[in-house]
Amino acid sequence: MGQTTRLWAVLAGLFSIVAAHDVANQKVDQLAAALKDTNGQIETTDNGVQVNTSNSLRAGPRGYNLLEDTTVRKKMIHFDRERAPERVVHALGHGAYGTFSSYGDFSNLTTACWLRDGAVSEVFTRFSVVVASVGGSESGRDTHGFATKIYSECGNQDFVGNHLSSFFINDGADFPDLIHAVKYEADKGFPTGGTAHRTAYDFFGQHPEGAFQLMNVLSDLGIPRDVRHISGNGVHTFRFINVEGKSTLFKWFLLPKLGHRSLAYDEVTKIAGKNNNFQRVDLYNNIAAGIYPEWEFAVQLFPDDGSYMWNGYDLLIPTVIVPFEKNPPVKLGKLTLNRNFNNFFAEPESISFAPSNVVDGVSFVPDPLLQWRLMSYDDTATHRHGSPNGFTLPINRPIAPVNNNYRDGYMQPYIFEGNSTSTPNDIGGVQEPGANAALHYTSAGERAGAGPVGRYVAQYDWFGQARLFWNTLDNYAQQHTVDAYRFELGNVGNADVVQRYIDNTLDKIDTCLARRVAYGIGATMPPANTTASRSTMQRRSNSSQAEFPSLYPLGMGLEPNKSNEGLQVALVANDTLGTEAEVQAMMSLLSAQKVSLTLVAPRIGMLKTGVTANASFITTSDVFFDAIFIGSSIISNGTNSAGLDTDPYNFVMEVYGHGKAIGALGTSGSAILNGLGVGGEAGVYSGSAMDVTVGVLDALAGPVRFPQRFTTDDVEAICGAA
Ligand code: HDE
C-alpha cells in the first residue's frame, strides 16, 4: 500500500471516529429541533388564534353554552382523545437517554457500525414491568423489561430484553395465552398487578418450560430495588454477520456496573402503597444529580455450525440458558444513562421498540418465540400510534436517512416530492441499494430449517434447569423463594390448580421445595424423598458452593464491594436525638460515596438540637431507605424502654425486620440498641459517627442485608433428615 494511500486510510479512519462521536450529538440535535417551548406564550387555538379558552362562550352570564364556541369545543375534542392505548404488556414503564460506547473495533464479528472503534451513539432506554397497567407499582414482583434503542449512524438498533435470562414459553404462539393467563381474571377484573391467581398457575402448570423463569421471578431477583441494579438479558440467540458474511451466534446481556440489589418482599408491598413510582423516581433523581448508571454490553459467542447447538445447549430454545461459567460473556461496549427526558408522553410513552429493528451485521435465528416478536412489535406500535407513521415521531426517528416508498397513512408528517413511489424505477425515485447490501451470511450449512412442515414442541430437561437455580440459592434465598411460592399459591383460591402445580412442577424440581410450599399453605405434601433433596438440604449455607453461582447474582459474596452510588440513608432525629456535628461527620463520608442522607424527625424544620429535619415520619417511610442511623441522645427521656417514641421506634424496628443495616451514634447508641433488643446483632452498629457510618457503608457495599434476622423453616422437620 503506497505512502499516500496509507495516509488516506489513516485519515479516513480518523474521520470515521470523529463522525462516530458526532453521531451521538446528531440525535441530540434532531430531538432539540422537535422541542416545543410554550412557556410564557399567549394561549391560542390550534389554528394559531390568541383566545381565552378558560371560560365558555355563553348566551349571557347565566345563559346556555353556544355551539359556536369552537375554541373550547376543539380544546375538549383534543382532550377527549389524549390517551393512546397503553401497551398490551409492559405498559408501566419509564426511561432515560444516554449513550452507547463501543469498547473497540469488532468488525471481525459484525459490520454493525455501533461496534466500531470509537463509535458513540445516543440511546433511549425504557424500563417496564410486564403485568401491571399504567398507574400500577413499578416495584411489584414481576419480570422487568429493559429495552434500549441505539440511534446509530447506520440505523436504529433495538435491544428489547428483560431483567431475567429465561422466559415462560418457547413459542410465540403461546404468548397471547400467557398474557391472558397472568393478567387480571376476565370475570373479576382483579388482580391487576401480579400472578397470584388461578388462571396464571393453571397456565404455569401446563408450561414446565417456564418453571426456571417463574422461580427467578419468585426469588429476590423478581423484586429488584431499582432499575440501576438490574441486568438486561436478550433471552434469544441472535446472529452477528461480518463483512465476509461470516455468521457468529450470540446471546446479549447488559451487566450493571453497580451490581444487583433487591428489596425484601414486605418492603415491596409497602413501597407500592407509599410511592408506586419509587423506581422511576430513583432513576430520574440519580440522573438529575449527575449519578449516571452504567451497564456493560456483553455477549456469549457461539460458533455457527448450522446446528444451533452448543455443548448440548439448544440455542433455538429461548428458555434454555447457558450459564456464564460455561460460556463467559465478552464485553463489547458500555451503556450510560445520563439525560432525563423532556416530556413523558412524547418520549418514554411514545417510543416503539422492536426486536426487528437491527442494523446490517445483526440478524436472527429460527427461534419460534423470536420469530413472532419480529412481527408483533411493529404491529402493536401501528395500533398504539393509530398510524403506520409512528417511526417518524422524534423519539423513534433514526439519525440515518430514511428513504423509501412508505406513503400516506394517518398523521403522515412529510410532503414527499416527485411522483415516483415504487422501486425499482428509472424515473429518479428511490433506488435499490447495491446487491451487496443484502444481508448474506454463511454458516457451516444451515440444517435447522430442514424437515417436514408441522407444529413442533421443544423438549428439554425443564425441571433440571429449575433445580440448578434452586440449588444455587443459599438457605435464606431459598426461604424467600418458598415464601413467594406460598404467597402466590396461597392466593390462587383453587385447591386443584394449587395441588397440580405442587405435584406436577415443584415436586419434579425438588421434593423438599414442594413439601415446604405445601406445608405453608395447607396443601398435600408430596411423599418425602430425601435422596433427591439431600443435595439441597446440605447446600444451605451460601451459594458460592453452587455449580453456577452466576445464576443468582444476589448470592452472598458474589458482588463484594458494590458501589453505593445513589443509595439513600436516613438519620432518625428529634429535639433530643442527633447533633449537627455528627450530621457533618456522616455527610463527609456519605457524599464521598454519593449516598444521600435524609433527616427524619416528628416534624420538618429546625429541631432544638440545631439539626434541620427535611422529612418527617409522615412525609417519608423507612422502606425508602437502604440503611438508617439513630442520632445520639443528648438526654434520656425514658418515654419507653428503648428511649424512642412510637414513630421512631416503628421506623427503626421495621428497618431491622427488613434485614437492613442500623447505626446508633454516640455514647447513647448501644443503650438505645439494647433497649430495642437488637444490640450486638449482625448489621447493627454503635459508636462514633465516623465509625458507625463506615460500618454501615461497608455493609451496604457488602452483605447489604442481614437475613439471619428472618425466620426460616425447620427444613428437616418438613422434609426429613438430610
Ligand atoms: Fe415482548 N412485547 N413479546 N417480550 N416485550 C411487547 O410491544 C411479544 C418477549 C418486551 O418498553 C409489546 O411495544 C411477543 C420476550 C419488552 O416499549 C408486544 C412475545 C421478551 C417490552 C410484545 C414477546 C420481551 C415488550 C407490547 C413472544 C424479553 C416493552 C408493547 C413471542 C426478551 C418494550 C410493545 C417497551 C413489549 C410482544 C416476548 C420483552 C405486544 C409476541 C421473550 C421489554 O409487541
Residues 150-185: pLDDT tens digits?
999 999 999 999 999 999 999 999 999 999 999 999
Q: Are 282 and 228 in contact (CB under 8 A)?
A: yes
**Residue 656 Cβ contacting ligand 1 at under 6 Å:** no
Q: Give 248-278 pLDDT, tens digit per residue.
A: 999 999 999 999 999 999 999 999 999 999 9
Arithmetic mean of pLDDT over the chain: 92
For a pocket test of ligand 1, which of 316, 345, 376 has the largest count of ligand atoms closer than 8 A to its C-beta?
Answer: 376
Q: Euclidean distance between the first and final Cα of the chain, in Å?
A: 72
Whether residue 7 is predicted with pLDDT greater than 70 in this model: the reply is no
User: Is 151 known to sit in a ligand binding site?
Assistant: no
From CA 238, how far away is CA 315, in angstroms rounded?
9
Tell how far the Cα of 320 is from the centroid of ligand 1, in angstroms.
18
DSSP, residue by residue, 678-690: -TT-TTEEEE-HH
For residue 376, which atom of ligand 1 is closest to its CA?
44
Task: State yes or no: is 144 an active-site residue.
Answer: no
Residue bearing the CA closest to ligand 1, atom 25: 90
Over residues 418-439, mean pLDDT: 84
Identity of the amino acid at 599 = L
pLDDT at residue number 638: 47
- Pocket lining: 172 vs ligand 1, CB cutoff 6 Å: yes
377 lines ligand 1 (CB under 6 A): yes
Q: Which residues pair with 8 in a beta bridge?
A: none
In which element (H, E) is residue 100 found? strand 92-102
- Tell me, using a 6 A CB cutoff, whether residue 353 lines ligand 1: yes
- Compute, in degrees rounded to 10, the torsion defined by CA atoms 657, 659, 661, 665: 20
332-362 tens-digit pLDDT: 999 999 999 999 999 999 999 999 999 999 9
How many other CB atoms are found less than 10 A from the CB of residue 342? Answer: 15
Digit-coded pLDDT (tens) for 54-109: 999 999 999 999 999 999 999 999 999 999 999 999 999 999 999 999 999 999 99
Comparing 545 with 108, the larger pLDDT belongs to: 108
| Residue 237 in contact with ligand 1 by CB distance below 6 A | no
Query: Which is nearest to 320 in space by CA: 442, 193, 166, 471?
Result: 166
Q: Which three cell numbers stand for residue 532?
A: 433427591
Instruction: Find the mean pLDDT for residues 212-227.
Output: 98
pLDDT at 22: 78
> Please, what's the b/e burial string for 167-189 (b: 16 or more CB within 10 A of its CB; e: otherwise)?
bbbbbbebbeebeebbbbbeeee
Mean pLDDT in residue range 519-534: 80
Residue 17 scores a pLDDT above 50: no
Q: 148 in ligand 1 pocket by Cβ < 6 Å?
A: no
For 302, other C-beta atoms within 10 Å of its C-beta total 20
Q: Which atom of ligand 1 is nearest to the CA of 372?
A: 31
How many angstroms is it from 373 CA to the middle of ligand 1? 7
Cβ pair 362, 112 in contact under 8 A: yes
CB 388 within 8 A of CB 382: yes
With a cut of 70, say whether residue 541 has pLDDT above it.
Answer: no
pLDDT in the model for residue 640 = 47
* Structure confidence at residue 642 (pLDDT): 52
Ligand 1 atom 43: residue of nearest CA: 145
Query: Strand pairing partners for 151?
Result: 122, 156
* C-alpha cell of residue 654: 421495621
Pocket of ligand 1 contains residue 668 by CB under 6 Å: no
pLDDT average, residue stretch 22-42 = 93
Using the mean position of ligand 1's atoms as its centre, give its distance from the Cα of residue 288 in Å. 29
CA 504/CA 206 separation, integer angstroms: 9
Q: Where are the alpha helices (DSSP H) in 290-437?
A: 368-384
CA of 363 to the centre of ligand 1 (A): 18
Q: Probe ligand 1: pick from 133, 149, 160, max atoms within 8 Å of CB?
A: 160
Question: Ligand 1: does its nearest atom lie under 6 Å from the Cβ of 88?
Answer: yes
Measured CA distances, 466 to 168, 211, 227, 461, 471 (Å): 12, 6, 25, 9, 9
Is the pLDDT at 8 greater than 90? The verdict is no
Question: Looking at per-residue confidence, does 307 or 1 come out higher?
Answer: 307
The answer to whether 294 and 336 are in contact (CB under 8 A) is yes
What is the CA(253)–ligand 1 centre distance, in A?
17
Plot region of 627 (φ>0 → left; ψ -120 to 50 → alpha; else → beta) = beta
Regarding the beta carbon of 107 and ligand 1, being less than 6 Å apart is answered no
Structure confidence at residue 77 (pLDDT)? 96
**Is the CB of 285 within 6 Å of ligand 1?**
no
Task: State residue 634's pLDDT score.
Answer: 66
Please determine, for residue 650, whether its predicted confidence score (pLDDT) is greater than 90. yes
Which is more confidently placed, 457 or 635?
457
Whether 95 lines ligand 1, by a CB cut-off of 6 Å, is no
For 596-648, write each residue's pLDDT tens digit. Answer: 999 999 999 999 999 999 999 999 999 999 999 999 986 644 444 556 889 99
Q: Over range 97-125, report the average pLDDT.
A: 97
- State mean pLDDT over 684-708: 96
Judged against a pLDDT cut of 80, whether residue 3 lies above it is answered with no
- pLDDT confidence bin for 574, thresholds 50/70/90: very high
- 146 alpha carbon to ligand 1 midpoint, in Å? 10
* Ranges 161-170, 370-379, 555-564: which has the least confidence: 555-564
- What pLDDT shows up at residue 444? 53
Q: Return the closest-CA partner of residue 231 out of 680, 554, 650.
A: 554
What was the pLDDT predicted at 639? 47
The per-residue pLDDT for 382 is 97
Residue 447's pLDDT is: 53
Confidence (pLDDT) at 1? 42
Q: Counting atoms of ligand 1 from 1, which one is nearest the CA of 146?
A: 43
Atom of ligand 1 nearest to the CA of 172: 31
Candidates 162, 216, 389, 574; catalytic one: 162
Could you read off the pLDDT of 464-513 as tens digits, one per residue?
A: 999 999 999 999 999 999 999 999 999 999 999 999 999 999 999 999 99
Share of the chain above pLDDT 70, in %: 91
Q: What is the pLDDT of residue 543?
A: 57
89 C-alpha vs ligand 1 centroid, how far in Å? 7
Instruction: Report CA(287)–ligand 1 centroid distance (Å).
Output: 26
The protein residue whose alpha carbon is closest to atom 38 in ligand 1 is 373
Going by pLDDT thresholds of 50, 70 and 90, the confidence category of residue 528 is confident
- Ligand 1: atom nearest CA of 235 is 32
> Does residue 491 have an active-site annotation?
no
